[in-house]
């Protein structure tokens, strides 16, 4: 069993009060499920233990968070609601980060209704726990991009650009997210160094703010754009991200 963090304290960032749209349910599922899939693929924690710890962390955070968002309210389980999505995204990210710090090399994982045990060994290429956040970020971004471009499970493609669109495809990527409720609007503009991105009223503002100083920040936009640019063959020198009270902004250095 993974160690549990204390419940949310009121030192947490203020909840965004700007208008935010309801997320399309398939996009909300893709964003959260990609995190679980990336953890499963990297083999550093038993998934049965991870899922239990994730559920408990969300439960422990929820009461204090519900008071923090008042007078706004949310329905438990409705991940289309940006208030609840923010909570679940934070709980998932904190659980992943803790599991990385305690990362195992070999473990027994139980699956299925009967709890069939399987021995799992982590790749020796990722034996250092410090390498896990970057590996997670890359894989998460690739999973989200693949889902947006090709569809996932029974969901059709979301309209994400093909890599052949090059740098110009980043605006198309933002448009794709906006059209499915991730934000009210998105803009990409060229700068001398590369690109500046802005998403107004992004669904994940609070989770991004809450994890900004973590070894594993919640950065679905950054991980996604990074995956797209890699697929497009566009070299990235560096990128920075800032979640403000009303918008998520990023600066990308290319070339």
Q: What distance in Å separates the CA atoms of residue 236 and residue 137, rounded to the nearest whole number?
A: 15
Question: Which pLDDT value is given to residue 11?
Answer: 57
Helix extents (H) in 80-232: 82-101, 132-150, 169-179, 205-210, 220-231
Looking at the DSSP assignment, which residues form a beta bridge with residue 107?
120
Tokens of 219: 């950065």
- pTM of the predicted model as reported, rounded to 2 decimal places: 0.93
Instruction: Assign domain 25-254 one CATH number from 3.40.50, 3.90.1520, 3.15.10, 3.20.20.
Output: 3.90.1520
Find the radius of gyration of the CA atoms of the chain: 18
Q: Could you read off the pLDDT tens digit of each residue along the chain, which spans 255 residues? A: 444 444 444 457 889 999 899 999 999 999 999 999 999 999 999 999 999 999 999 999 999 999 999 999 999 999 999 999 999 999 999 999 999 999 999 999 998 878 889 999 999 999 999 999 999 999 999 999 999 999 998 999 999 999 999 999 999 999 999 999 999 999 999 999 999 999 999 999 999 999 999 999 999 999 999 999 999 999 999 999 999 989 999 999 999
Domain boundaries along the sequence of the chain: 25-254
Alpha-carbon distance of 251 to 54, in angstroms, equals: 31
Answer yes or no: are the C-beta atoms of 19 and 201 closer than 8 Å: yes
Q: For the chain, percent helix, then strand, then coil, each to nearest 5?
A: 45, 15, 35
Q: What is the pLDDT at residue 10?
A: 44
Give the model's pLDDT for residue 3.
Answer: 44
């Amino acid at each position: 069993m993974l160690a549990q963090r204390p419940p949310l304290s009121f030192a947490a960032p203020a909840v965004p009060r700007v208008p935010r749209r309801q997320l399309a349910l398939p996009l909300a599922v893709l964003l959260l499920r990609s995190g679980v899939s990336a953890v499963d693929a990297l083999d550093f924690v038993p998934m049965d233990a991870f899922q239990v710890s994730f559920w408990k962390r969300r439960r422990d955070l929820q009461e204090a968070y519900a008071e923090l968002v008042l007078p706004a309210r949310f329905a438990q389980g409705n991940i289309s609601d940006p208030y609840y999505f923010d909570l679940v995204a934070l709980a998932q990210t904190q659980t992943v980060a803790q599991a990385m710090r305690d990362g195992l090399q070999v473990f027994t994982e139980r699956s299925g209704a009967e709890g069939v045990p399987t021995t799992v060994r982590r790749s020796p290429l990722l034996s250092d726990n410090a390498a896990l956040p970057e590996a997670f970020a890359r894989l998460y971004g690739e999973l989200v991009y693949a889902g947006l471009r090709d569809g996932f499970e029974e969901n059709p493609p979301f309209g994400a650009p093909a890599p052949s669109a090059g740098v110009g495809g980043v605006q198309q990527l933002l448009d794709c997210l906006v059209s499915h409720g991730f934000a009210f609007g998105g803009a990409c503009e060229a700068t001398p160094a590369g690109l500046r991105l802005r998403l107004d009223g992004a669904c994940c503002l609070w989770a991004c703010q809450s994890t900004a100083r973590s070894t594993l920040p919640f950065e679905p936009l950054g991980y996604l754009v990074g995956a797209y640019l890699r697929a497009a063959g566009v070299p990235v020198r560096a990128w920075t991200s800032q979640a403000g009270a009303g918008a998520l902004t990023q600066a990308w250095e290319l070339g």
